[in-house]
Amino acid sequence: MASSSDYVTLVSNDGFSFVVQRSAACISPVIKRMLDPKGAFMEARDNTCTLQNINGMVLEKVCEYVYYHEKHKDARDVPDMDFPTELCLELLMASDYLNI
């Protein structure tokens, strides 16, 4: 496997895995550090991050967010991303953990 592949996998605690672009996933400094090839973490070898405290639904929204963030990086007057209210608090905890 290439040492620095273009895509990485994020796995939720209930077994869902999401394949996202490395550049998007590394918007989160936590994930970036986990996947850093210079680091000694197991995640860096497999290009897979298992997030034990985030479930599938929330992780899906997180993936959507990282792409949304990357897409609108230099733009002005960006419209807010939409997400269901029920996910709100869990998403807040996840975003606080991932620091995004």
78 binds other proteins (CB under 8 A): yes
Cα distance between residue 57 and residue 21, in whole Å: 19
Q: 55: Cβ–Cβ under 8 A, 6 or more apart, which residues?
A: 12, 13, 14, 90
Q: Does 42 bind other proteins (CB under 8 A)?
A: no
For tokens 């960006």, the residue is 78
83 binds other proteins (CB under 8 A): yes
Smaller CB distance to other proteins: residue 44 or 98?
Answer: 98
Which strands, in side-by-side order, build the sheet including 17-21?
Answer: 17-21, 7-11, 48-50
Tell me the site size for other proteins, rule CB under 8 A. Answer: 26
Is 65 a binding residue for other proteins by CB under 8 A? The answer is: yes
Residue 52 binding other proteins, by CB under 8 A: no
Q: Which two three-digit tokens encode residue 36?
A: 């850093």
Interface positions with other proteins (CB under 8 A): 62, 65, 68-69, 72-81, 83, 85, 88-89, 91-96, 98, 100
